Structure 1
Amino acid sequence: MFPNKDNYDLIIVGAGLSGLAAAVSASENHLDTLVLEKGRSIGGDGNYVEGAMGVDSYLQKETGIDIDKTQLLQDELNYSHYEASAPHLRKLIDNSGQTIDWLHALGIEFTKVGVQGKSWPTIHTFKGGGHAAVQKLYQLAGDAGVEFAMSISAQTLHQENGHISGVTVKNEATGQFRDLKASNIILATGGYVDNPDLVKLRTPFSNRLFAVSDGKSTGDGMQLAWAAGAQHYQMGAIQYGGGAIYDKQNPPFTHMASQLAAATTQEAILWVNERGQRFVNEDVNDNMCHAGGAILTQSRTFSILDQDAVDHLTNVGLYKEVGNSPVSPDKFDNLKVEIDQDLNDHRNYITKANTLTELAEQLSMSDLTATVARYNALVKAGTDDDFGKDSAYLTPVANGPFYAIELGVGMACALGGIRVNNDNEVLNDYGYPLSGLYATGNDAAGMLVGDTYAVTLPGSTAGYAAFSGRNAVSHITQNQ
């Protein structure tokens, strides 16, 4: 259905986490607001986030977590090779705790705050996951009178005398178009991870990348902004989700809750390339983006498990806590069932053999047996002199049968393409605002990263989504 009216104070393009945060904030500031959503459901990739980043939140104060904001800023700028905007990142850090407190005051519950892998203790885990958070924001916005138009996409932005004046929208169900007027527009379309052509512009490794997303993040916001005169800003970073089962037959979400996927990517046993050569310290998966980058340096990547590892993970417990996966039980009690089912179904990503020699022959890995012998010697010595893997996670590969699971790299989101100022106003090539146009969430988050997603600042995607939505509305309200 088309919107009820033709004129609004604010139109928000996208009903993901940043769009919903902006909508609730707009209702608090009494703006006549319309939210456009091109799909038939709300939340976008916000449905899948684990938690939101914050510094000096109520929960951190309760648990005694004290973070030096300046040191955090310095570390993240170093991590980004100074491609991040220091002022924008500083504003996010300074306001992130208040954003968590705002969400909490709205009724969104958090279960804990802490680290994720080797990181700052900033991720506030949503009770019920991101889906619960976005549903609460959607309810609050709707109850406050914010209008939502589903299956309606933004096609073209309008300008009059140098100021945004409206947008042409399309009914995705009927193919009809309509012009709407608005003094301000917020682009909150979720980035570009679901647009293969844009992803190819960002990385040459796209053949083994696949989006683990809602399918709607196709770069609409950046393309709308570019057409209106916005600067073609750096594409920022793709958030690699570390390794993922490389299934050429089924969609990526098939394995999101898979214990086999978590075991092969998170448990830090042995990764080898197409020739059976080890190429990295497997505990790199503590930083999922670094793990994804390492996997993509090889033509093919396989995770090797022996039966002892399968038995241990099934019956005893994990070798290391799972930090970057939707699956995080104490042990993988369904792992054997999943392996047997995949083998019975002849899945092309899993190979089983009784001996390493047989496994090497099946996969044409000329160096596999020598690699495993070398690796087991390092395990016995208790020190990884080759790549520096944490000795606590040196686990032997010795007793068959043996399993090889091929890995690709899942992409959770892609950030950037639009340059914004500290008020989330979209900037042109000269660094000046396109008056009335704002970008939030992943559309603008290239301001916070270099070429690698800031996994060291966990929860930053969701934290920035909520902050930037509020930040844009705050500037709109101040300038009314």
Structure 2
Amino acid sequence: MHYTGPFDRTVDVVVLGLGDAGAVAAVTAHDAGAEVLVVEKQQAAGHRPNSRYAAGFFCVPEDVDGAVEYLSAMYAVNGELSTVDPALIRAWAEETAANPAWLDRHGGEYVKMDIRGEHPSLPGHESIRVYKARPAGEPEGYAGCPMHGFLRGLVAERGIEVRYGTAARWLLTDATGAVIGVETEHDSGIERIGVRRGVVLAVGGYESSERLKRQYLPITPAHFYGTEHNTGDGITMAIEAGAELWHMNVWPGHFVARFPGDGYTGGTGIDLWGSGRFGPGDERAPGSIFVDGTARRFIREPGRQHAANLELLAMDADSLTYPRIPTWWIFDQERFERATLVPTYSGPAGPVGDYTWSEDNVAELRKGWIQPAGSVKELAEVCGLDAAALEQTVARYNEHCANGHDADFGRDPVTLTPLGGDRYYAVPLWPGGSHTVGGPRRDAKARVASIRGGSISHLYSAGELGSLHGLLYPTGGGSIAECLAFGRIAGRNAAADRVGGS
């Protein structure tokens, strides 16, 4: 919004949002000598950004050149490389590789995992390794992702001012379109804050905007298992300032359950094997399969961890339906008794406590969140599936288990446990995930791109809002790694900027 009037207050740098990206940007700008104000629309009590729902994984390139090759390959569909800024990918690789050293300098703790790039068919996947944050320096009473707790601690120990309960409404611009401040709204009214150096957009995506999801995502409904406060505010502000958007129609997607009870309206990740992680673990995996609306398997369960949503896009043009929405998760008593059906170490049923999941799944069964039956035929009837088709699907799957080879989809043999017994269960699954990635496009210096070419002066972005991850996601922890990396890039470049004659 073009603004020529006075400001109620002026600081060097305003950071919008206090997730991981906003926290790192604020700390970096502060340590570079800037006066920093963080504006956060959530109240301090119960502050739940997406970063707090995460498990704390972050990926680290152990070979920068290999990581550049890997990320570049993710943009090539049918062998054609889309328009990608090589400098941006190089900045990502170099800066994410520096994340462990930055954490070391600031007292962060982590462990290295035996997990590599998620797409072994692409060159360079071995150059990526996944780390996991350990608790270190969280504020008193904090519960949630240890990385976010650590970063919140860094903000607090520096005395950086955080204005909670304050929503950013407009980016204020001068006659040339350069950003010179922010208009905010809080209980006591409107406040216009000027900046001497720059503004960092780190307000997250649009997971909780049904309007934006319907407009931009290729499939609906989609349910996300994070904060209910990510309503696309940054997209609105960026568009009004003339930003170019990208990656609005993609996201790192999963199959998610949805239990609209106990006040939480988002999605919830599932624990397919009862192992407490995406893989089956060391124990014998219980029997589980996914079937579509025709009662047939269509995927090597559980699918690619952050690209499973791509399997759901097969539309039946004759009926104008998506036969794979919902997908039905079918399992037996062994899986029911193994462990909780959803993760309780992260996500809405984790430490943030949006709702509580019982240890034995019985409370959720009584609520009707899990569909039970005494036979495969009865389960099909409960789910509205063709009984004969589901019985045939289960019989064929059990035959694969007996042979030790999934002839249909090549599922990992260690997970080929037959379905059996006298109790069967089903849970409907939907497309979803942890976060969206669309938003204002950024460059290697975290500057927001203008729709007219070049960049918007004094405007920077970091985090999932305008993430550089497009159709494919590198591996677990890609988002936190990007938050750390581009939080630093945005923070130091904003701190070094100058608005007008300031």
Shorter-chain TM range is 0.7 to 0.9
TM-score by length of structure 2 reads: 0.79
1:441 is paired with a residue whose SS is coil
CA displacement 1:143-168 (0-9 Å, x = unmatched): 33422111111111122243321121
* 2:437–2:464 contact (8 Å) kept in structure 1: yes
Q: Does 1:389 align with 2:411?
A: yes
Q: Does 1:270 align with 2:289?
A: yes
* Correspondence for 1:80: 75
* Residues 273 and 217 (structure 1), Cα distance of their counterparts in 2 relative to 1, 3 Å cut: same
* Residues 150 and 390 (structure 1), Cα distance of their counterparts in 2 relative to 1, 3 Å cut: same
Single out whichever of 299-308 and 188-197 deviates more from structure 2: 299-308
1:464 is paired with a residue whose SS is helix
Percent pairwise identity? 23
* 1:14–1:37 contact (8 Å) kept in structure 2: yes
Specify which of 470, 479, 490 is matched with residue 461 of structure 1. 479
> 1:20 is aligned with what amino acid?
A
* 1:310–1:335 contact (8 Å) kept in structure 2: no
* Correspondence for 2:34: 31
* Correspondence for 1:331: none
1:116 is displaced (CA, Å) by 6.8
1:253 is displaced (CA, Å) by 7.6
Partners of 1:293 and 1:263 in 2: how far apart? 24
- Give the alignment of 1:187-226 within 5 angstroms: 187-207=201-221, 209-226=222-239
* Correspondence for 1:246: 258
* Correspondence for 2:362: 340
Partners of 1:254 and 1:233 in 2: how far apart? 24
* 1:55–1:96 contact (8 Å) kept in structure 2: yes
1:397 is paired with a residue whose SS is coil
TM-score by length of structure 1 reads: 0.83
* 2:225–2:269 contact (8 Å) kept in structure 1: no
Specify which of 14, 28, 38 is matched with residue 17 of structure 2. 14
* Correspondence for 2:130: 123
CA displacement 1:184-204 (0-9 Å, x = unmatched): 111110121121111112224
> 1:46 is aligned with what amino acid?
S
More helix as a share of residues: 1
Specify which of 332, 336, 343 is matched with residue 306 of structure 1. 332
Structure 1 portions without partners, runs of 5+: 57-66, 329-333
* Correspondence for 2:104: 104
* 1:169–1:179 contact (8 Å) kept in structure 2: yes
Measured on the aligned residues, the alpha-carbon RMSD in Å equals: 3.3
> 2:96 is aligned with what amino acid?
S
* Residues 462 and 335 (structure 1), Cα distance of their counterparts in 2 relative to 1, 3 Å cut: closer
Q: Does 1:228 align with 2:241?
A: yes
2:252 is paired with a residue whose SS is strand
1:197 is paired with a residue whose SS is helix
Specify which of 370, 385, 399 is matched with residue 365 of structure 1. 385
Specify which of 45, 54, 60 is matched with residue 55 of structure 1. 60
Q: Does 1:398 align with 2:420?
A: yes
> 2:181 is aligned with what amino acid?
G
1:233 is displaced (CA, Å) by 3.1
* 1:190–1:217 contact (8 Å) kept in structure 2: yes
Q: Does 1:421 align with 2:440?
A: no
* Correspondence for 2:179: 164
2:414 is paired with a residue whose SS is helix
* 1:22–1:470 contact (8 Å) kept in structure 2: yes
* 2:325–2:429 contact (8 Å) kept in structure 1: no
* Correspondence for 1:476: 494
Partners of 1:369 and 1:35 in 2: how far apart? 57
> 2:110 is aligned with what amino acid?
F
CA displacement 1:60-87 (0-9 Å, x = unmatched): xxxxxxx333233222222233445432
1:277 is displaced (CA, Å) by 1.2
1:94 is displaced (CA, Å) by 1.0
Partners of 1:169 and 1:177 in 2: how far apart? 6
Partners of 2:419 and 2:219 in 1: how far apart? 30
* Residues 147 and 202 (structure 1), Cα distance of their counterparts in 2 relative to 1, 3 Å cut: same
Partners of 1:262 and 1:424 in 2: how far apart? 40
Specify which of 424, 428, 434 is matched with residue 412 of structure 1. 434
1:403 is paired with a residue whose SS is strand
2:98 is paired with a residue whose SS is helix
Specify which of 292, 297, 300 is matched with residue 281 of structure 1. 300
Q: Does 1:68 align with 2:63?
A: yes
* Residues 117 and 250 (structure 1), Cα distance of their counterparts in 2 relative to 1, 3 Å cut: farther
* Correspondence for 1:294: 311
* Correspondence for 2:470: 450
Partners of 2:459 and 2:103 in 1: how far apart? 25
Partners of 2:483 and 2:52 in 1: how far apart? 12
> 1:215 is aligned with what amino acid?
E
* 1:302–1:405 contact (8 Å) kept in structure 2: yes
> 1:467 is aligned with what amino acid?
A
1:206 is displaced (CA, Å) by 2.0
